[in-house]
Structure 1
């Protein structure tokens, strides 16, 4: 009996060896494929390919906030900023900050926002200031030279907005500290840049719309870079006729994309205005999520805009996407646990600028003296 059992075991072992010899290549190939799959599933994407999800980025940001360990995320999510010792905010998180900024900096929602990565300190935008001419001719008439376009450069101020946020070390232990930090950065950046986009003087900050010269002359005679204004006709109020005059100083190609801008106090006064037939010039939004209207065009509240007063410009209308450009650059975040104990300082900075590109695309209402 023992001899029979031993013989069967030897046959079983030989059968396994025969099977393994026959299928060994297939087994090794399958094992290699599974190993590679597991490697991909447990590593960040290779350079140049893909990116982490927003929730993964926030998780790593929260870990960085608590520990300061930049090796947690390598070079794909929050990358080392060699010039500041901090980390570069990734595009996904930067986009979220910019979206939040629109709540507090309304011009971002109507102006053209340009993402640039140039290493140059200053950025210039070439623009066509007009001058093209043409003429009528017959079949065999000579074709003399006509005027060529006048090209100019708009120089954007080299400027930076920052926030330096103290956070208690206890608060760092909060799992939602990353969400809080994103919101606080967005609000702080927005307060600074929102005012600058309206009235910034262009020195270490954007040059705001109201920082440019104005004139009552029309588009055909007014110098490039000077905004046309319409006088209200009253030193203390906005007149209904002045709104109509202001709107129709815009050329049709700009008026088709026009938006009104004013602050809440001016809006309250506008809501009381009636046309000659007693109809309200202001109309509410037809449904949630749509803008309120003034003379049929969207009206946006911007509380950095000035109040109604003598010689002030409390109301603007225009195609702001054509008129004003906002430039965004890379954002960085620095964790400083040493300077302000028991707080940890989070220093966020962003190079952002703005300038008027097309002075014909926006018009201003000027309150009479």
Structure 2
């Protein structure tokens, strides 16, 4: 006997979207992200040298890459509410991936500086378009798999692509004598594969929200299902949580500042910086898996590790001892893994389904503003006094712990 099928929800009689179990959906969606990260992290690893080869100054490189990162975060303030309003989560996710997959290979053959700058920013806009919709689609399946574990597995696969992409581009540049066209052109292959897999996934699971509807109806998520907020409003606990994230992000040093210290203090040759970055990405993936599992067992208290690691980064990484500074970079990788996985899982636990993409967009906007402020703060204090920098970052992380405690109280 075959299961009956509801064409509206894509559910079988067993109550799950036809053709795929929740864990399979998470893994396949993670594979899409792996392939996409292969593409855009491969390109981002050489953005600076590529723009310089077209005549860009350090100022131009800084402005363009900074504008790209700002676009990737701040534009989610628009794409998040748009996803909730239109309910076209799959359409926005696919459109965002298309923009990235098309922009990267064209970057290798741009030929003129202005066109390359436009493509660098366009790739980041693609991330802004897709991310709230993608995270919302993923959040439905993680209702069943466990929020922490589901987002953690997705992040681990994502970071696998972030590790492979730069290494492939480096190998192509070495093989072609520094020719960017074939080095970035080869990234079209995983890009096309990512789009094909995404379209296939949509055909198999047209309505991922069915995962969550079934789980809630069965009472499987009673402890984690957020209470409905008043119409048009997000829960108070979400805003407290966003403040926690802003405080910890303000003290989070960027890899650019860490690598600047390593090279300027002659602790590491520039050629070895990408190797250390790759090691940090491996730690990122492991930390995401570990904290995701712990989150599902113990809840948001696990996030208390993030402010501790954030403060530890500046204590270790800004020393003048190679081994200790390198350890600081690996701690930075662990903190990044928590930031990219478990932080997103908690948003899904705090916000009801109908407002979730909006929440992800607002969360990213707050992160973008805090990241910009933190970058200026840490960069400025680095030039003044490293002990003062450490003291200020530690103070921001103490504040973050207080806000996390308030979030837990509000959630209860």
TM-score by length of 1: 0.24
TM-score by length of 2: 0.22
Could you say which structure has the larger radius of gyration?
1
Q: Which has the higher helix share?
A: 2
Bigger relative contact order, structure 1 or 2 (CA pairs below 8 A, ≥6 apart): 2
Q: Which has the higher strand share?
A: 1
